[in-house]
Every structure is written in C-alpha cells, then in structure tokens.
Chain A
Amino acid sequence: MITTRNLKKVYTTEEVETTALNSINIEVKEGEFVSIMGPSGCGKSTLLNILGLLDNPSEGEYLFLDENVGGFTERKRASFRKGNIGFVFQSFNLIDELTVFENIELPLLYLRVPSAERKKRVEEALEQMEIFPRRNHFPQQLSGGQQQRVAVARAVIARPKVILADEPTGNLDSAHGSEVMNLLSKLNEEGTTIVMVTHSPDYAEYGNRVIHLFDGHVVTENIKEQHNA
C-alpha cells in the first residue's frame, strides 16, 4: 500500500543544511499495523508527515497505492488526504470552538457527505468510541483519554485507507494510553492499516512490525508475531 524508495528529506535554513531522513526504503502492506520507534530527533515525525502528505520529500519516490504522490502540489495533497488518510496526534489537535460531535463531523463536511448520513456516521463513531454522552461537550471539558478517543473517531470517520498516529499516547497516563492502544488494535483487526510513531516499546508491541530509525536511517526492522493479548 505504501512504498518509499530512497526517500530523503533535507531542511535548509539560512546557513545550515540538516538531513532529517536519508535513503528510507519501507513498505507497508494493506491491513498492517506498523510501529516506528527511535530517539528524539531521529526523523520519525518527518517521515510520518511525508507519509501523511503534509510534506513533500526532497528526493526519492513515495508510492501510495502504486501512485507516485511524492511530488504532489499542496492543492493535490490536500484533496488526496481527505478520505485516504486519517491522523491522530500526540496533542489531540481538536478544534476548541467545535463540540465533540462537530469535530468528528468535520472530515465528512470536507468530503461533502450529506447531512443525514453525516449524523448517522458520527453517532456510530461516538457509540463505537464510547463517548456518545459527551457529544455536545467542547474539548476543554474532556479528559485527555476522552479527547484522544474523539481524535481517533475523527481519524476513522471518513473510513481512510490508512491511519497515521504520531505518539497517540504521549500525553496520556498509562490507563488511558492502553485504552487508546486497544482502540487502535481493534481498528486494525477490522482491517484499517495503521502506522504509528511511539517512544514506548510496550505500545510498539501492539504492531505487527517495528521499524527503528536512527539519525534519519532505518536501522532495523523487526517482524513480530501477531500480537495477541
């Protein structure tokens, strides 16, 4: 589903040139749950941004469902993102001015899904994430775990081909963290492809495979047995 060939990302400021990623060759198959690990500054988030089409690589190829999307313009990337890719962030990134319901509904609005169907799908997601009673609350009124569940609901609502999670448990205590991880596992079991960046070896274990990054290079790839808790 996702293939990168010799992916390279270089950041240039006025005087310094920093190579964030170098010759990255990875492959993610449909239905996989891949964890990416590595120390701070190793390029995990940069890789995730490129995979999520938030950023373009400096060199190399990025194939998404056999289409080379690496050189897309901002406009093309934006339209490709919706419906294909769902995001979950460490800091949740919910919109403070919108309620839980409205936050989850937002991707559907951008996809121009009719109102009745939007309502039905959001309500299903609310039930699925067990946050239905909270649907009219604003993000500030929720606990961190609840906020992240809203974020996950928002990521899956458009039924994307892949979910990219950037340290989804980073701001959560261990109880809430496990809750979110179980949620992601469940989604994966139901067929959603997941790529997750994490610091935590325990949570990385939830994936079928762990990719280790160091200084912008892939150092090891551990293929795990199917994790069965």
Chain B
Amino acid sequence: MLKNYLKVALRSVFKHKVYSLINLTGLAISLAACLLIYQYVSTELTYDTFHSNAGNIYRVVPSLQDDSGEWKNHAMSPMPMAPVLAEEHPEIVGYTRFTNSSAAVVKVGANCFTEKLLYADPEMLSIFTFPLIQGDAGTALRDKSSIVINESMAIKYFGSPDAAGKTVSIKLGGEFRDFTVAGVATDIPHNSTISFDFLLPFPVVLELWGEPFVSSWGAMVTRTYVQLADGTDPALLEEKLPATIARRAGLPEERLNRLRLALQPLRDVHLNPNYFNRFEPTTNPLYLFVLSGIGFMLLFVACFNFTNISIGLSSVRLKEIGVRKVLGAGRVRLIRQLLVESVFLSLIALVLAMTLAEIILPTFNALTDGHLSRGILFDWKTVPSMIVLLLAVAILAGVYPAIYLSRLSPSKILKGSLRIGGSNMFTRALIVVQFAVSIFFIICTLYMSRQMDFVREADLGFSADQIMVAPISSSEGRDVLDRLKNELGSNPAVVSIAGARESMGRESDYAVTVAESEGMETETFVFRIDENFIPTLEMEIVRGRNISTDFPSDPGRSVIVNEAFAQKMGWEEPIGKRIELNFPGLEDNTGEVIGVVKNFHYLSLHSPIEPAVMFTAADFPVTRIMVKIKPEGIPGTVATIGRVWSSVAPSSPFEYYFLDEDFNLQYQMDDRWGRIIIYSAVLAILISAIGLLGVATLTLSRRTKEIGIRKVLGASVLGIVKQVNREFIILVLLACLLAFPLAYYVMSRWMENFAFRANVGWTVYGVAAALGAVIALTTVSVQAVRAASANPVDSLRYE
C-alpha cells in the first residue's frame, strides 16, 4: 500500500510540474536556511563544553557599586586575587589567571612575525582540556623559560608539529628572550572562548609588569578562572569570597558592601556579554533567539505555501479521493495516504535543502562569521534531528489538507458539485501571515540601516579621519614616539603625531578605577596621553587648557576630565579641583583639574559616555602612536612613514590601522545582523511571493468561468486585473496590521542596545507596506493578466 501511495505521489509531482516546483523550491530554500541556522545556533551553544572539567570551571567576576548605587560587572579582576582565594578556600582545587599581550615579535631563525601571546598559570593545562601532542600538560608551564605553542604555530615556525625542545625568541620588555617549547597543543577548536597560539607561564607577565600591578587590589587587569572540587555549591562559596578579599586586601568595612564576587560558570562565559572589559568572544543570546525565530518564520512561511497549494491542487485530486473512498478507503487511511505524500515531498525538499545548504555554506559562514565546516549536515549525528525536522515539516504542511480532504463526501465529489481551493478563509489567513512576516523583515531592515547610518555619521566628539595608528610594545613606545616626532615633524604630509596608552574604540584597552574628590566618588576611565593627543584628534576643550610642555608641572600632576566627569561630581567650576585617583603614574595619587574636554565617544554608540580622566606622566607606557596625515596622497605618506619607522624601530615590524575603520569594527556585530536581516527579508519575500503566485494561479483557474462570463458581458482585461488585485490588497493591509506592532516591539528592544538612537519615523512603516503591496500586486497581476486575456469561449466551453 505504501508503494501505491508513493507511486501516486511521485506521478502527481510530475503531472503538476509548476506547482510541485513552487512547493519544493520554497520548502527547500527555507529548509536550507533552517538547517544552517540550526547548525550555527547549536555550535554557539556548545562553546566551552569540550573541557572534561567544564562543569566545575568558573570565572571569578567582581561587581562594584558606585556612588549612584549602580553595579558594574567586570570580566577582569586584580592580579593577587586568584592565589589568595585558592589559599583560603579548599573548595578551589585549581586556578589560573589569563592575561593577553598586545602584539609581540616572535622569531625563530629567519621566521619573524608579530604574534599575540597568552599568559597563564601552570595549572591551566590541567584545568582546561587542551590536549598536547607533545609534552606533558602537568609540567609544561612550570618553568619560567618554557612555552606551549599550538600545532599551526609549530608548523608555521618549524615546518612540522614536532617542535618540543626547540627554541623560540620573543621580544619582551625591549629585548629578545629565549623560550623552550615544552608542549605542542592540538589547534584550539572554534567553539572555545579561550584560545592561544603562544602560551607563556604567568610569572613572565608578573615580572614584565612589575609593581604596582602585581600586588594591586585596585587594578582590574587579569582574568581569573577557578576549578571547584566536585560537589561544591558555588552559591555558598560566592558568599564567603568578599570577606576573604576584604581581609587580605585590607578593604575598609564600607567598601565590603560594595563588592560582590560571582562565580560565573564557564559555559555562561560565551553567552553573557554583560561584563565590562571582556576578552572572550561572546554572543548575545538574544541574537540566537532572533536567529532561531527567523528560521522558524521562514519554515512556517514555506509550510504555509505547501498547505495552500495542496488545498488548491486538491480540486484536481478530488476524483482520486472520491474513487478511493468508494473503493472502501476509510478516513484514517486517506489521512495516512496524504501524510505519507507530505512526508515524501518533504523528504525530497530536505535532500534538496541539504545540497543547497552545502552550496551556500561559505556565504553563510561569511555572513554570520561562523565556522561551519563542509559536510557537517551529512554527518550521521544529525540524522535524528533531520528526522524530527522532516516529520515536523510534513505534519505542519500536510495535516490540514489531509483532514480537510478526507472529510469530503464521496457522492458529492463524484457528482462534481464541490468547488474548493484558493478562496477559503484558511488560505487567506495563511497569505496574510506570510506577508506579515515579509513586511516585518522589511521594517527591521529599514530600521537597522537607519540606526547604523546614524551611528556612523554621529559626531564622536573627536575626528578619526586620516589618523593612522601604529601599535607598539610599551617597552620601546616612548622612545620610538620621540624619534618619529623628530624625523617626521617637518614632513608637510604629516599634520601631527601623538602617543597614548589608551586609544579610541577598544574596550579591552581601557582601565577603570575609582576617583575621589571632596567626598564624592566615581568610577572613571583613564586615558594616559601626551600633549598632542587632544589636538591630533581635534577634540574640543570647553574649559581650561590642554596639557602642555610649557608647564613642566603637568606630567604626573595635571588632569583633564570630560564633561561627564564634571557633571557626575556636580562641579560648577571644575578647574582647580583636586582628585584622588588610585592609578600608577600620578604623583601621590592626586591630580589637579586643568581642563574639561567635550564629551567624546571613546566607546561605540552602544555605550553611554561615562566619566573619563586624561593625564600625562613622564614615564607612562606608550602603546599606540597616532599620526594624523593630510588626505592627499595617503599611500605615499604611509610608505614614507614606514621607511622612517624601520630606521627608528628596526626590531618592530611596521603595522598600522586607520582609526575610523578600526572604530567602526565595534559595529561588526551590528553590521553582521543587519546583513542577516536583509537576507532573511529577501528570503521571506521570495518564499511569500512564490506562495502567492501559486495561490493566485489556483484562485484564477477556479474563477476561469467567472472571468469568461464577465468578459462576454463586456469587462476589459484591465478591469478584471484590478478586481482581482483589490482582493489581494486587502490581505496586504491585514498583514500590515499584524506586522507593524510586532516590528515596533522588536525594533524598540533592539534599539535599547544603543545608548544613542536615531529618530526613526513612521515613514519606515509606510515604505514597508508599499513595498509589500507592490510585490503582492506584481505577483498577482502576472497571473491575472494571463487569465483575463484568455478567450472567453475557451473557458466557457466546458460548461
């Protein structure tokens, strides 16, 4: 019997080629999108689950409360915290701190590149599961002169993974130091928040940074992970931690109430972006919901097509249903047959979809910044989920037609007195929902592009144009800066040169500390800059003056604050105020305010502008050299600077970026989501239009006789097209009613991500509605013109 069902299904597919094509294409496209989204989301959810201790690993994250009562979550914690916690709490069976270096030069023989380093405590390789191909995880980081590298790096520098015992030279603190490769790790999987090319022992960074960082409890400069003993209740342990810190760090009582230490499960790290200064790649889970939602929406839209066309086609298949009933097929059997058909068609669509998904995988990866690998869909592990998907689609798409058709009375069917398809309420409702989805996506696309334009064109409070930024190691930064100023100062193509420790738009660069003045207290960002920084970035000083070499007392004593700082402190006259700032570089930890700078966006427009303090010190570490150049002949100027650079800093490769481009990298995620939404909109529109085309065709074929009679009575082609379109326009309007509130809600939520928002008016909704209507009318008109142009004699002859 199954064979019989399948035979009929297959032959019916070939008999109604156009409808089958509409059905299968729509379903295959949306299934392909769903499969990719499913894979992407499930990969996101597997982050850090591959560690065998994953359930017992926690990141220790401090939260601090400022004067206004607001809590701020930090991803970073002080250097001395981890050893102290491990010493006092036996539940902690292991800990590691992580610190990333900015660029460092690595040399093996003639191979010399700039690389990023990760420093970690010796237990790191036992806590986390990063298997070593060579070396022993237990001892690899014990020795201060040992290093662990990953397989790719071993191949890059030594030509093979066999690198144990070999020597790597790394430039640290201005001179090359030799490290012996004590372990070669397999390459880090993509779904790991912690990754390294070069893993160095933590004592090296302690030595490099020195005091006051190493023993400071105020500077949040490292990331702390602990492994708890089996069966430890993290909530209980969390409660005990602040007291330990207070005692060992000597915090006063009132500070204790403003400090919390949370144990954040490792698996939560990737999916929780609500921490300041985070290093780990994170995904906002909201986006995963949105993406899954898009997948479901596309799938529903395609299933609706399937249902609509099945009902429409049923007028053709009625005779078969009737005959089967006469021959003794009961209702259950017919439902079973129709569902088998639906499963069969879905299976074809699924196979098409899998092929399609493989083909568009590279595009999808580029779009989502994902790392899905080829063949991932054809893995046997996906079989159960594929079966679930298949059945879900088949039932979703096939159950209504099955129930509907099997209910009809055979004597009526065979008498030919039944007319169904195309016009019933259910079909109309489905079209409305489909168009609502399309209009929803159009609105989202418009909203997002408005906001992103706003963000890009916003006045940042500084000018990022034609500013070349060259990162440099802190050990030689100041020296290179001075020599560059000498060498390039008279170059007409160079406007100015500045040096700083903190640049714009790099959240992980910033240090946050507490500033006090006259009993008021605030958290503040700190910028260590030279006297050229403010003019080079064309920032506006609204009160007082810039730091200057004319005032020998400026370094280490004078500070500039932003407007937000002055406001938070409630100062009417900021100039001359003294602030206390627990930060290296300021003499006696105090500074005098000599100027107020207009608020500027050192972070993206996602973040509000918070208090910031800027000062210079004789010996602050310069890690960014900024050169403002003239807009004419940029490539030539860059080449000149490169030549000068190699003469003043021969051991540091010349690497640079442009500040405006770099600043906009902060919107990478937003841009990516913008693109995803545009693609979804196009897909939804495409699938809806395909479905509408099918329904319009069926509706019109059912109305052939009516159109014929109207023509005989004198109706024009245009008149008939208009009349047909009028009905569909009403559906588009209903779709708008559904889509508008939903889009408004979702987009308002999305806009909450930004501290600064574009004013998006109602035009967006108008444009979306108009676009939806145009698409619907074009689709319907194509069919309507054809039907209306037909000779009425042909359509009436049957009667």
Enumerate chain A interface residues (CB-CB to B < 8 A): 45, 49, 52, 54-55, 74-75, 78-79, 81-83, 87, 89, 93-98, 102, 105-107, 109-111, 154
Closest to B15 in A: A97
Q: How far is the CA of A110 from the CA of B15 in the complex (A)?
A: 25
CB <8 Å contact, B329 and A97: no
20 extra interface residue pairs, beta carbon distance < 8 Å, beyond A81-B326, A97-B12, A98-B7: A52-B326, A54-B411, A55-B411, A78-B329, A79-B328, A82-B327, A87-B326, A89-B414, A93-B322, A93-B326, A93-B414, A95-B8, A95-B323, A95-B324, A98-B8, A102-B4, A106-B327, A107-B327, A110-B328, A110-B329
Complex: A154 Cα to B1 Cα, angstroms:
16
Task: Check B320 against A110 for contact (C-beta < 8 Å).
Answer: no
- The distance from the CB of A148 to the nearest CB of chain B, in whole angstroms, is 14
A93 touching B323 by the CB < 8 A rule? yes
Chain B nearest CB from A217 CB (Å) reads: 21
Which residues of A sit under 8 angstroms from B15, Cβ to Cβ? 96-97
Q: How far is the CA of A45 from the CA of B325 in the complex (A)?
A: 17
Identity of the chain A residue whose Cβ is nearest the Cβ of B332 in the assembled complex? A75
Chain A residues contacting B7 (CB-CB under 8 Å) are 97-98, 102
Specify which chain B residues have a CB less than 8 angstroms from the CB of A55 in the assembled complex.
409, 411
Within 8 A of A (CB), among B1-50: 1, 4, 7-8, 11-12, 15
Hey, which bits of chain B sit against chain A, CB under 8 A? Answer: 1, 4, 7-8, 11-12, 15, 319-320, 322-331, 333, 409-411, 414-415
Task: Give chain B nearest CB distance to A167 CB in angstroms.
Answer: 12
A95:B326 contact, CB within 8 angstroms: no
Expressed in whole angstroms, the minimum distance between the Cβ of B176 and any Cβ of chain A is 80
Name the CB-closest residue of A to B329: A110
Among A52, A78, A93, A110, the most chain B Cβ lie within 10 Å of the Cβ of A78
- Give the interface centre of A45, A81, A94 by most chain B CB atoms within 10 Å: A81
The minimal Cβ–Cβ distance linking B73 to chain A, given in whole angstroms, is: 64
- Chain B residues contacting A111 (CB-CB under 8 Å) are 328
Task: Return B81 CB to nearest CB of chain A, in Å.
Answer: 74
**Chain A contacts for B414, CB-based, 8 A:** 54, 89, 93
Q: Which residues of B contact A98 (CB under 8 A)?
A: 4, 7-8, 11
Instruction: Offer 16 A-B interface pairs, CB within 8 angstroms, sorted by A.
Output: A54-B326, A54-B411, A55-B411, A74-B330, A78-B329, A81-B326, A82-B327, A93-B323, A93-B326, A95-B319, A96-B320, A97-B7, A106-B324, A107-B327, A109-B1, A110-B329
Partner pick for A110 among B11, B12, B327, CB 8 A cutoff = B327
Q: How far is the CB of A131 from chain B (nearest CB, A)?
A: 18
With a cutoff of 8 Å between Cβ atoms, the chain B residues found around residue A106 in the complex are: 4, 324, 327
Identify which of A83, A93, A95, A97 contacts B328 (C-beta below 8 A).
A83
How many Å from the CB of B14 to the closest CB on chain A?
9
CB distance from A186 to the nearest CB of B (A): 22
**By the criterion CB–CB under 8 Å, are A82 and B8 in contact?**
no
The interface residues of chain B lying within 8 Å CB-to-CB of A93 are 319, 322-323, 326, 414
Contact at A95–B331, with CB atoms within 8 Å?
Answer: no
In angstroms, Cα B327 to Cα A107, docked, is 6
Instruction: Determine whether the beta carbon of B330 is less than 8 Å from that of A78.
Output: yes
With both beta carbons as reference points, the residue of chain A lying nearest to B316 in the complex is identified as A96
What's the nearest-Cβ distance from chain B to residue A162, in Å? 14
4 A-B pairs closest in CB distance: A82-B328, A97-B11, A54-B411, A78-B330
Give chain B nearest CB distance to A62 CB in angstroms: 15
Please, how many angstroms separate the alpha-carbon atoms of A124 and B325 in the complex? 25
B319, B323, B327, B414: residue with the most chain A Cβ atoms closer than 10 Å: B327
CB distance from B226 to the nearest CB of A (A): 67
CA distance A98 to B414 in the complex (A): 18
Chain A proximity of B310: nearest CB distance (Å): 15
Q: State the CA gap A89–B329 with chains docked (Å).
A: 18
Docked complex Cα distance between A127 and B724 (Å)? 53
B331 engages A74 (CB within 8 Å): yes
Of A45, A74, A97, which is within 8 A of B8 by CB? A97
Instruction: Say how far B402's CB is from chain A's closest CB, in angstroms.
Output: 16
Cα A82 to Cα B333 with chains together (Å): 13
* Docked complex Cα distance between A154 and B327 (Å): 9
- Assuming the A-B contacts A95-B8, A97-B7, are A78 and B328 also in contact, with contact meaning beta carbons closer than 8 angstroms in the complex? yes
Bound Cα distance A55, B320 (Å): 18
List chain A residues, Cβ under 8 A from B324: 95, 106
In the assembled complex, the CB of A156 is this many whole angstroms from the nearest CB of chain B, namely: 12
Which residues of chain A come closer than 8 Å to B323, judged between CB atoms? 93-95
- Of all chain A residues, the one with the shortest Cβ separation from B4 is A109
Closest to B322 in A: A93
**In the complex, A105→B1 CA distance in Å?**
10
In the complex, A89→B319 CA distance in Å? 12
Contact between A79 and B8 (Cβ–Cβ < 8 Å)?
no
B317's closest neighbor in chain A, by CB? A97
Which residues does chain A contribute within 8 Å of B330, judged by CB atoms? Answer: 74-75, 78-79
Complex CA distance for A111 and B330, rounded to whole angstroms: 12
Looking at the complex, which one of A75, A82, A95 makes contact with B320 (CB distance below 8 Å)? A95
Asked if B333 and A110 sit within 8 Å, CB to CB, the answer is: yes
Complex contacts, B319 vs chain A, CB 8 Å: 93, 95-96
Closest to B330 in A: A78
B325 touches A78 (CB 8 A): yes
Q: Which residues of B contact A94 (CB under 8 A)?
A: 323
**Chain B proximity of A202: nearest CB distance (Å):** 26
A81–B8 CB distance below 8 A = no
Instruction: Name the A residues within 8 Å of B327 (CB-CB).
Output: 81-82, 87, 106-107, 110, 154
> A204 CA to B12 CA in the complex, in Å?
38
CA distance A78 to B325 in the complex (A): 7
Distance A97 CA – B11 CA, assembled complex (angstroms) = 6
- List the B residue with the shortest CB-CB distance to A93: B323
Residues of chain B contacted by A87 (CB below 8 angstroms):
326-327
Please give the distance in Å from B315's CB to the nearest CB on chain A. 14
Determine if A78 and B331 form an interchain contact, defined as CB atoms under 8 angstroms apart: yes
Within the complex, the shortest CB–CB distance from A97 to chain B, in Å, comes to: 4
Verify A81–B320 contact, CB threshold 8 A: no
Instruction: Kindly name the residue among B7, B15, B328 whose own CB sees the greatest number of chain A CB atoms within 10 A.
Output: B328
Nearest residue (CB) in A for B319 is A93
Task: Tell me the bound Cα distance from A102 to B322 in angstroms.
Answer: 16
Cα–Cα distance between A109 and B157 once the two chains are bound (Å): 72
Residues of B within 8 A of A78 (CB): 325, 328-331
Report the separation of the CA atoms of residues A54 and B410 in the bound assembly, to the nearest whole angstrom.
Answer: 7
Contacts of B331 in A (CB 8 A): 74-75, 78
Assembled-state Cα–Cα distance A97/B12 (Å): 6
Q: How far is the CA of A95 from the CA of B327 in the complex (A)?
A: 12
- Give the distance in Å from the alpha carbon of A79 to the alpha carbon of B12 in the complex: 27
Q: Which residues in B have their C-beta under 8 angstroms from that of A52?
A: 326
**Complexed CA–CA distance, A45 and B327 (Å):** 17
Min CB gap A216→B, angstroms:
16
In the assembly, what is the distance between CA of A126 and CA of B645, in Å? 95
* Chain B residues with CB under 8 A of A54: 325-326, 409-411, 414
List the A side residues contacting B4 at CB < 8 Å. Answer: 98, 102, 105-106, 109
